[in-house]
A and B are shown apart, each in its own frame.
Chain A
Amino acid sequence: MTIRQPGLDTSPPVSDEVRRTTCYMCACRCGINVHLTSGKVSYIEGNRDHPVNKGVLCAKGASGIRQITAPSRLRAPLRRVGPRGSGAFEEISWDEALELAVSWMKPLRDTAPEKLAFFTGRDQSQSLTGWWAQMFGTPNYAAHGGFCSVNMAAAGIYTIGGSFWEFGQPDWDRTKLFVMFGVAEDHDSNPIKIGLGKLKARGARVIGVNPIRTGYNAVADDWLGITPGTDGLLILAVIHCLLEAGKVDLDYLAQWTNSAFLLDETDGPTRGLFVRNAESQPFVIDRRTGMPASWDARGVQPDLGAVWQGHRTVFRHLAERYLSPDHAPEAVADRVGIPARRIRELAAELARVAFDEAIVLDQPWTDFRGTVHPAMVGRPVSFHAMRGISAHSNGFQTARALHLLQILLGTVEVPGGYRMKPPYPKPMEAHPTPHFDAVPGKPLSGPHLGYVRGPDQLALKPDGTAARIDKAFSWENPFSAHGMMHMVIPNAHAGDPYRIDTLFLYMANMAWNSSMNTAAVMQMLTDRDGDGEYVIPRIIYSDAYASEMVAYADLILPDTTYVERHDCISLLDRPISEPGAAGDAIRWPVVEPDRDVRGFQSVLIDLGVRLGLPGFTDADGKAMYRDYAEYIAMHQRKPGVGPLMGFRGAGEAVGRGAPNPDQIAAYIANGGFFQAHVPPEASYFKPWNAAYQDWAVEMGFFESPQPYLFSVYAEPMRRFQLAAEGHGHVQPPDALRARIKLAMDPLPVWYAPFGDDAATGFPLHALTQRPMAMYHSWGSQNSWLRQIQGHNSLYLPTTVWQQHGFADGDWARVTSPSGMIEVPVAHMAALNENTVWTWNAIGKRRGAWGLAPDAPEAVKGFLLNHLISELLPEKGDGMRWSNSDPVTGQAAWFDLRVKVERLGPRDQTLPSFPVIGAGGTKEDRWT
């Protein structure tokens, strides 16, 4: 008997049209194919041609279709009509909104530009937002890096001239052993997954160092469940083992790092600085002659062991330090939570793969000294690290330690190792220094953010107080290269260092998950002076969605969703380069907004015109750019160099070339992105590779070749120590001297996280991780993704679970030195035994994000933020000590220490806040 099957059309039409743009559901910037049917978005998939994701797409990206129709989308400009925090607004026209903003901002520009503070949470158009703030003249500008991962970025720049994630990645195709430290399931998402997939497909080995064994760490072949905040101790112990056994790449250290520089041992203001020659250049001792020689001289063989006139090399100093028994695995195992033998095994594995399994590419290259190398020799060990090590008050030094480990193994910029992405490598010296002098009616003299070389470049006023509202680049955190957004509201509220007038924020959920001590921040935003005015008088906020922050602003400038606007993923800020190719990209309106909303960047340009800012208006006061799209194509940061590198001039020029009015159309035709490939002979050893340096100049990254040596020893840090020791005319406050001496050590050092000081009685470390199917708060009310993860639990390790007699369904009271929450708990065995953790940013405030007030995100979801203070506990010295890394100011989220108490089942997480209105129009809201 035959079986009758129903007829089936297996070739149905897929859609009317595919438009290729760039995803915005997290920070990866994957290429997406947006399918349109009858003018509406019907399906989103990855773009196979795109360099970031090569066709794949994550859970968030594929759910973007639900972001476009979310009820939480803001619909029109709003002016606050009730008290702050009430969410009572009236809709106004764009003209009214923009004129209101100008009426607040213009007088500030004319009299005291620093009274405008402009901070952006989402920071992928920094080259525009920073330029705007610079033209306005306020020193108070930054993006969110200060509470995200500035430790990772700054430690990388100060050490190797690049960093993990955006500035580089493992050589996924060639590495044989991959070790990740503190990597949760973001930063970056698809590229790491694609890379792990490659390693798994060829059976390469993966080691995960993380207190929590989920996600990437769950598929790691080996897991080291480290105690939070001790990664630096572990890394330095591994370095100890490598040195003890002589398993370091001496040739690499001698040729490509400052290990052979001599350190001044004369007591006085130059102690610990490099010994310099008559031309003020550090030099090396040439092994061939025993005499001083220029570090970049042709054929020079730097002597790592030299002693010259009593001055010893960096290598001698570092070897002595890390060979000390203090750094032996046996001395640190208890604190690290990993047995000494396993630390020694890790060192042995790294050494074996790096040195016994070296790989050779048959590719000649020439270095900056003119030496021709017949082949590229690689050490196939690679590392990646992220917030798990950087969000501690010792994170900068820990990230430096990891770079030192990579350097000692000779694995940076070699085949199989860690590779940088153009425009990186870029040494600290090639970055600007901070600019901060506010002059009424004038632009700032240069970009806000930069890399300080010494105390002279701190952002201090003549009286020694901080020039910036966030106190970035002050003695409290000299290298705060990304600013310190998490300190803006507390400092503005405290009037320390001064009061501001208008706080202007873009996509920054400071009234919720982007602030430490959330409840207190809400209070700061609503506090009034004696005269009844708000302490922070005016708040302007732009967002696409009704986030918690919306309710705390006075004026809302509603943004579009990511498929409705132009964007620029630029080499001037955060491009999408790969190690083998520079890359940039655009977004463009693949559908038109159905609401009275405007892309924020176009609004910013409009404001620039209305304020008459230079750079936005010509000599006659006329607008230079109609909107962001025209700015992207026509703006020039320096002659021939603009936001996009591709299709310049008449369409043929790459990197440098005249502005091309048809550039965006050319990008759209090319799939929304452009790549310029690094020549094969330039693909590794980039900082020292003459062919790469020439290519970088041709591309417009540099005006001249910039070869440099890796900073095993970070001399700028030593300058701060010298100041703390009393040398120099710019002196730190006495209260900070000891801390500066400790934290600004020019060789990587480990010290206990500052949270430990107040940790007596709080035995557990508490962490968060970002789930793979959710990202920040930027639209995480997505109707598909919230079905995957609509609430969170606090995961407790087995020892804690048993010791307190927890049972399924229980809740716990969790207390830190500064706060208390009540939350649901769950047992997890694959967890460091002194650590509890939860998923980040799942918890929402009732009424926000277009969700029902009894949504699980608000009833059972929670934040750890309530337990974390932006200030460390008062030390009896009357000072406000920021809960941040003392080098960079990075928010020390993961220094958190807690204790837990068992509760029975509960109905509502605590703290719980009143329902807020959220700005959408009635018909779209849950009511």
Chain B
Amino acid sequence: MTRLPSHTDRKLGLVIDLDTCVGCHACVTACKGWNDQGYGVPLSDQDAYGADPSGTFLNRVHSYEVQPQEGAAQIINFPRSCLHCEDAPCVTVCPTGASYKRVEDGIVLVNESACIGCGLCAWACPYGARELDAEAGVMKKCTLCVDRIYNENLPEEDREPACVRTCPTGARHFGDLGDPDSDVSRLVAAREGFALMPELRTRPVNRYLPPRRKDAREDVSLLAPLLDLEARGFAAWLDRMLGKMG
């Protein structure tokens, strides 16, 4: 068992806009690219050119079809990665202390040198956000790019997670969700952002912004014809039409 901090100074996390995410997977491979050479061991691939390729990803996008009660079916693209929960069950279940939540910013990390690859944390995580690297035998998960966000070797504007930096639609936002005045907290307030499966009491830090209402065309007043074309003819239409010119 590993203890969680009773309080973190900040609550760094992601806000993901499901109204804007087009499901392009840019965040998936930007994450893979950075973290393949970043924090901890590389993200390995097995059978990369074979019959059953599989590899470690810290962020994946799933697309779901939703059939509303009325109207056309919709597709929701849903990026999934660690939510950096305040009551992270993956930390408390860890037998070696390898999984921990940082006091200064709330990021949940795996200390790979203490990880024995037992996989308990992946079982405990209800969001499926952890992946055991098959080659290295250690648990991998989203680090919020802890090796980018404070990195003095990067220009200041680049000190954000790779997934946020690359997102072409700007659907991913990064910041301190513990600060009610931060941009991300304001965005969550304005767009009624929600936590994933709050009933599990994991208290995720990350938030999702819901899709806006689709296919709603209330109060469209149809265009009124200039005149009754059939009764009055083209010449009358043209007169009326060109009479509009100054």
Contact = CB atoms under 8 A, between A and B. Distances in A.
A56 B223 contact: no
B33 A44 contact: yes
B77 interface: yes
B201 interface: no
Interface stretch (B81-89, B126-134, B167-175, B178-186): B167-175
Given A10-B147, A43-B33, A219-B19, A197 B223 contact: no
Contacts of B216: 221-222
A218 B23 contact: yes
Interface residues of A, number: 96
Contact of A787 (B45, B171, B246): B45
A855 B49 contact: yes
A605 B151 CA distance: 46
Contact of B100 (A3, A216, A218, A828): A3
Interface string A849-882: 0111011100100000000000000000000000
B232 to A, nearest CB: 12
B203 interface: no
Contact of A244 (B34, B51, B225): B225
B53 interface: yes
A71 B224 CA distance: 64
Given A10-B150, A221-B212, A830-B73, A201 B170 contact: yes
Contacts of A198: 170
Contacts of A914: none
Contact of A53 (B17, B72, B168, B221): B168
A815 interface: no
A829 B51 CA distance: 30
B102 A319 contact: no
Interface string A235-273: 000000110111100110010000000000000000000
A345 interface: yes
A48 B114 CA distance: 38
A711 to B, nearest CB: 21
A341 B220 CA distance: 10
B49 A851 contact: yes
Interface stretch (A161-169, A526-534, A778-786): A778-786
B81 to A, nearest CB: 15
Interface in B198-246: 211-212, 214-217, 220-226, 229, 234, 237-238, 240-242, 244-246
A304 interface: yes
Contacts of A6: 100, 111, 113-114
Contacts of B147: 9-12
Interface string B18-31: 01111111101110
B24 A13 contact: no
B238 A215 contact: no
Nearest to B152: A11
A348 B221 contact: yes
Contacts of B38: 12
A788 B28 contact: yes
B176 to A, nearest CB: 16
B20 to A, nearest CB: 4
Most buried by B among A5, A194, A250: A5
A244 B229 contact: yes
Interface in A41-64: 42-46, 48, 53, 55-63
Contacts of A61: 26
A350 to B, nearest CB: 10
Contacts of B33: 43-45, 62-63, 65
A193 B49 contact: no
A200 B20 contact: yes
A818 B162 CA distance: 48
Contacts of A828: 65, 73
Chain B contact residues: helix, strand, loop or mixed: loop
A926 B223 contact: no
Interface string A336-374: 000001101101110100000000000000000000000
A829 B151 contact: no
B114 A250 contact: no
Nearest to B104: A5
Contacts, number: 260
A345 B113 CA distance: 62
Given A5-B102, A790-B53, A62 B30 contact: yes
A196 B49 contact: no
Interface in A767-793: 772-773, 781, 783-788, 790
Contacts of A344: 222-223
A835 B94 CA distance: 50
B24 to A, nearest CB: 4
Contacts of A246: 226, 240-241, 244
Nearest to A852: B50
Contact of A347 (B54, B223, B238): B223
Contacts of B234: 319-320, 323
Contacts of B220: 345, 348-349
A20 B91 CA distance: 41
Given A71-B49, A218-B75, A37 B37 contact: yes
Interface string A706-741: 000000000000000000000000000000000000
A225 interface: yes
B39 to A, nearest CB: 8
A126 interface: no
Contacts of B150: 10-11
A784 B222 contact: no
Contact of A784 (B23, B34, B45, B226): B45
A9 B40 CA distance: 11
B166 A215 contact: no
A345 B217 contact: yes
Nearest to B238: A305
A14 B153 contact: yes
B25 A59 contact: yes
B168 A11 contact: no
A406 interface: no
A548 interface: no
Nearest to A42: B37
A822 interface: no
A783 B169 contact: no
Contacts of B45: 783-784, 787
A786 to B, nearest CB: 6
A245 B223 contact: yes
Interface string B150-167: 111110011000100111
Given A197-B170, A241-B223, A855-B50, A59 B24 contact: yes
Contacts of B166: 45-46, 55-58, 62
Interface in A205-247: 213-216, 218-223, 225, 241-242, 244-247
A619 interface: no
Nearest to B45: A783
A914 B49 CA distance: 19
B150 to A, nearest CB: 4
Contacts of B19: 200, 219
Contacts of B137: none
A302 B52 CA distance: 68
A305 B242 contact: yes
A784 B32 contact: yes
Interface of A: 1, 3, 5-6, 8-14, 37, 42-46, 48, 53, 55-63, 65, 71, 185, 189-190, 193-194, 196-198, 200-201, 213-216, 218-223, 225, 241-242, 244-247, 250-251, 254, 304-305, 316, 319-320, 323, 341-342, 344-345, 347-349, 351, 772-773, 781, 783-788, 790, 828-831, 850-852, 854-856, 859, 926
Given A57-B26, A244-B225, 16 more contacts: A6-B100, A8-B146, A11-B152, A48-B158, A55-B165, A57-B30, A189-B24, A214-B63, A246-B244, A319-B237, A319-B238, A784-B29, A784-B45, A787-B54, A850-B49, A856-B51
9 contacts: A12-B153, A60-B29, A61-B26, A218-B23, A221-B215, A221-B216, A223-B215, A246-B226, A829-B67
Minimum-distance CB pairs A-B, first 9:
A193-B168, A829-B73, A245-B223, A197-B169, A59-B25, A783-B48, A218-B75, A197-B170, A10-B150
